[in-house]
Amino acid sequence: MTIDIGSDRQLFLDDLFFESRSGIELKMHKPRAEEVIFQRDKPWETRSLDTPCIVRDGDLYRMWYRADQGSRSDRNESGSWLCYAESKDCINWDKPELDLVEYEGSTANNIVFPAEGIGGFTVKNPSVLIDHAAPSDERYKMVARTVGVKPTTMCGFVSSDGLVWRSIETNPILTDGPFDSHNIVVWDDDISRYVMYLRGTDESVAGPFKGGLRAIRRSESEDFRNWSPPEIVLAADEDDPADFHLYTNAAVKYHRAARAYLMFPMTLYDERHYPAAPFHGLSDVIFASSRDGVSWDRQFREPFITPGLDERNWCDRNPMMGAGIVETGPDELSMVFQELHKAEESRFRRCTLRLDGFVSASAPYAGWSEFITPPMIFAGSILELNYSTSGGGSIYVELQDETGSPVPGFTLDDCPEIFGDLTAGDVVWEDDPDLRALAGRPTKMRIRMRDADLYAFRFRRSE
C-alpha cells in the first residue's frame, strides 16, 4: 500500500507507518498538569463548573462552559447557565460582564444564554467551533443538549461573535437520545462535513444504563441543519471491567496533522466507591485515536489522566477533559479539564503536551531499533522530524525506493547522527542531495533509533 502524504504532517498514532519494525514500540505520553485557571466564584456558580470548551480565536483564547447552581450535596443541580470566559495566554482568564442576560436584576455577568432559552430552547453542555468558511453571521457554531423538556434533544445555534446566538431553523437537530453528556461538534475537512460525537447506549451487553452501557455515537451533516442518524463508534469491550462506561468523548480533529482524530473520553466505573467520596462512581480520562473519525482504536488502556493525590477527586466526573486543543507556545499544546467537581473549589485546570506529543515511536536504550515505512508519495523538499533523544540517544534516517533499495545519497551512512529535543528538526544528508528529485515517487523511510522518541514527521515545502 502506497500512502499519499503530500506535505502534511503525520503522527505516529498506530501501525500505519510501520511496514516492518524491530524493537520499536508505540508509547502514549501523558499530559503535565499545570495551574488552576479559575474556579467557582460567582453567585450563578454555587454548585460547580462543568463541560469547558476552548478555542483559539486570533490572539484570544475563548471558553464556553456550564455553571450550575444548587447544593453540592445534591445529586442534581437546581439550575444551569451557559457562560463565557476569555484569556490572552490560556492561563489568566477573565469572566467579562457581557450585559446580555439578566441574573437577579443585573446583566453584569458572563452569562450568554437566557433562562427562557433562545428560539424556545434552553440548553447546557456547549460545544463551539469556529467555521471560517461560513457567512459572517454564522462564523461561530454551537451544539448543546436541551434542558427542561423530556426527552432531551440536541440543538444547534449560530453567531457572528460567539456571544449573541440564534437558534437554527431545523431545531431540534437530533431527537434520538440519550444526549445527557458533553456532546462535541467538529469540522472534518477530509470529508467536508460537520461531525458530532454523542452519548449513546451499547445494548449488546446488559448494563444499568437504559439496558446497556454508556457508549459514544457519531452523526454527520453537510449543512449543520440536517444530521444523519447517530451510530455507535466506540464502546466497552471484553478487556474492560463490567461496570466500564464511556461517559464523555472530548473528540477533536487534530489541526496540525493529517489523518489524526483524537478522543479523550471520561470513563465511569459505576459500581466503584472510594471510602471518602460522597457518591458512588470513579472516573479517569483515557485516550483513543482514529484515522477516519469512524473506526476508533484504544490500544493504550492505561489512563491519560487519573484522579491524583487529592482524595476529593476520587468521585465520578473527576477528572473530565473539556473540548478543544490549542497551541500556547512554540512547542506547547494546552487542554483544560475539570476537577474537584463535587467539592467547594470546583474548578478548571490546564494541562500541557509537547506539540504533536500524544504518541511516539519509541526506541529503548538497549541496542539499536528501527522501522521501515510503507511506500509514501510526498510533495515537499525538506524532511522535518519532531523528536527527542537522551544525551546518549541517536536517530538516523535513510530513504529507500519502493523495492527497499537505499537511494544513493540518502543512506544511513550518509546521514549525520541526529540527537537532541526538537519539535521541528530538519534531516540533512552529506553532500546535501536534492530531496525534490524524489517528490512524487514512492519512497520508504528507514529510521534507526536508540533511546529516542519520534512523534511526527512531514516533507515540508521550502519557503
Instruction: Give CA–CA dist 302/305, Å, rounded.
Output: 9
Range of the domain at 340: 32-354
Domain count, the chain: 2
Of the three residues 354, 377, 409, the one that is the final residue of a domain is 354
Name the CA radius of gyration of the chain, rounded: 24
53 and 91 assigned to the same domain: yes
Of the three residues 354, 380, 401, the one that is the final residue of a domain is 354
Of the three residues 326, 354, 382, the one that is the final residue of a domain is 354
441 and 333 assigned to the same domain: no
State the CATH number of the domain containing residue 438. 2.60.120.260
325 and 220 assigned to the same domain: yes
> Which pTM value belongs to this model?
0.96
State the CATH number of the domain containing residue 54. 2.115.10.20
309: left (phi over 0), alpha (psi -120 to 50) or beta: alpha
348 and 385 assigned to the same domain: no
25 and 164 assigned to the same domain: no
Q: What is the pLDDT of residue 69?
A: 86
Check if the beta carbon of residue 121 is closer than 8 Å to that of residue 173. no
Q: What is the pLDDT of residue 75?
A: 60
Please list, in sequence order, all residues whose beta carbon lies within 8 angstroms of the beta carbon of residue 330, skipping any fewer than 6 positions away: 423
16 and 71 assigned to the same domain: no
37 and 20 assigned to the same domain: no
276: left (phi over 0), alpha (psi -120 to 50) or beta: alpha
DSSP 305: B
pLDDT in single tens digits along all 463 residues of the chain: 899 999 999 999 999 999 999 999 999 999 999 999 999 999 999 989 999 999 999 999 999 999 998 765 666 666 789 999 999 999 999 999 999 999 999 999 999 999 899 999 999 999 999 999 999 999 999 999 999 888 899 999 999 999 999 999 999 999 999 999 999 999 999 999 999 999 999 999 999 999 999 999 999 999 999 999 999 999 999 999 999 999 999 999 999 999 999 999 999 999 999 998 878 899 999 999 999 999 999 999 999 999 999 999 999 899 999 999 999 999 999 999 999 988 889 999 999 999 999 999 999 999 999 999 999 999 999 999 999 999 999 999 999 999 999 999 999 999 999 999 999 999 999 998 899 999 999 999 999 999 999 999 999 998 7
224 and 309 assigned to the same domain: yes
392 and 304 assigned to the same domain: no
Q: What is the pLDDT of residue 157?
A: 98
Q: What is the pLDDT of residue 462?
A: 86
Q: What is the pLDDT of residue 26?
A: 98
DSSP 100: -
